[in-house]
Structures are given as C-alpha cells and as structure tokens.
Structure 1
Amino acid sequence: MSTIRLKNIKIYAFHGCLVEEGKIGSDYLVNLAVKADLKRAAHTDELSDTVDYVQLQKIVKDEMGIRSKLLEHVGKRIIDRIFEQLPLVNGVKVTVSKVNPPIGGDVSEVSVTMASER
C-alpha cells in the first residue's frame, strides 16, 4: 500500500456552532492522506492508474464549502466522498483544523482527525 498526502490545504469556510461563525467565517487547514495500491501507476506512468490529487483537493474544497456545526461532520463527509468517487482508495485519514478558534483563549488552532478504511 502507498500513501498520497495533501498537506495544509488552506480554505476559508463558515463552520462552527456559533451564529457569528456562519456569518464571519474562519481560516482552516486540511491535511489529507489516502492509501491505495499504486504499483500499476508506478509501472505505467499513467494518471488513470493512480489517485489524482487534483480530484482529492477538489473534494476537500467542495465539502469544506458546505457549512457544518462540527469539524467531525466535515471530516466524515470528506472521507465518504473520497470513497464514493475514487475506487482505488482503500484508506483515508483527514485532519480538519480551525485556525484561531473563538474559544476565549490563546489557541492557535483546534483540529479533528478522522480515519477510515474501505
């Protein structure tokens, strides 16, 4: 099994339980790792034989664009959509981080990491 990673995808989104978060929005970082058998791609050098990281980034961007109260909800949607659209993927690990969360303290970010296998 091989791993493809997308590191620190920067997205402005509107997640959170507070009404203000839905209006003002916040900066987010998403880190994604997918596991797949990439032996064929290594041999053929063809994009069709691998997991296209452009499509992975699009899935993350699209799902981050749908408002959720909880980062857990966003993470699960990202995982589900990857499994739905990319049959080569056998495992997904995603971390969704809210930068400068409004929690009344000096915290640089909060994050939720979720992982699943097919």
Structure 2
Amino acid sequence: MGTIKLPNMRFYTYNGVLKAENELGQQISVDVTIHYPIETAVKDDDLETTVSYVDVYETVEKLVTTRQFKLIESLAQSLLVKLLSQFQQVTSIDVSVHKFYIPLPGIYDPFIISVSGTPSDLEGWGY
C-alpha cells in the first residue's frame, strides 16, 4: 500500500460564519493523503492506471474556489466525498483543512479540521 500526499494546497476563499469572512475572504490550506495500492497501479508506468495528483489538485481547487461554506468542517467533508467518488481505486483518503484567520483574540496556529473515509463511506452521500 502506498500514499500520494498533496500538502499545503493554498486557496483564497470566502468561507466562514461571519459576514466579514464572506465579504473579505481568507486564505485556507488543504492537505490530502490518498492511500491505494501504488505497487500494482504503476507497474506498467501508465498514468491512466494510477491516481493523477494533477487531477486531485484540480478537483480540490475547483470545489474550494467555487463553493462557499459556513463551516470548514462541511468543506472538509465535501472534499472527502468528492475525492472518494472521483477516484474509485483508492482504499482511503484523509483530508485536512487549515483555517489561518479565526476571529478570536490571542496568538495561535491555524485551526485544523481533519476527516478520513473509505469508498464504502459514500453510501448515503448521494454519489
């Protein structure tokens, strides 16, 4: 079993509960780790039989930049469901969304929401 990791993909979005977050926007970053049998998927050195990290990036970019969410938890779950439905050869996927600006006083690192799932978790999500 192997992994493809796409860490720290950064996007400017208009996600959040507060009006200012929706109007001014903010930067978030997304980490995706895809678990699948790389050793069998790449034995013929053919992009068509494996998971293209370019396709993963483009899927994340499109969802993150074209949809608006109040909760980054909803964004993380939507990314997970979309990726699981698009890349059916995977065994599991991990998604983390990092929110850099949180309207709270204090000094802190980004807040992070992480979700994980398998293709069997798609049941009930409408895909």
Q: Structure 1-normalised TM-score? A: 0.93
Match of 2:2 in 1: 2
Query: For 2:71 and 2:62, how far apart are their aligned partners in 1?
Result: 16
The residue correspondences of 1:16-55 to structure 2 (distance < 5 A) are 16-55=16-55
**Corresponding residue for residue 102 of structure 2:** 101
**Structure 2 CA distance, aligned partners of 1:97 and 1:78?**
13
Ranges in structure 1 where 5+ consecutive residues have no aligned partner: none
DSSP 3-state at the match of 1:9: strand
How high is the sequence identity, in percent, across the aligned residues? 25
Aligned counterpart, 1:90 = 91
SS at match of 2:42: helix
Instruction: Specify which structure has the higher proportion of strand.
Output: 1
Q: What is the CA-CA distance between 1:40 and the residue it aligns to?
A: 2.7
Cα RMSD after superposing both structures: 1.1
Which secondary structure does the structure 2 equivalent of 1:56 belong to? helix
**Does the CA-based 8 Å contact 1:9-1:29 persist in structure 2?**
yes
Specify the code of the residue in structure 2 equivalent to 1:19. K
Partner secondary structure for residue 8 of structure 1:
strand
Any runs of at least 4 consecutive aligned residues in structure 1 with deviations exceeding 2 A, and if so which? 39-42
Give how far 1:18 is off: 0.3
How many residues in Structure 1 have an aligned counterpart in Structure 2?
Answer: 118
Structure 2 residue matching 1:106: 3-state secondary structure: coil
Report the CA distance between 1:29 and its aligned residue.
1.1
- Name the counterpart of 2:117: 116
TM-score by length of 2: 0.87
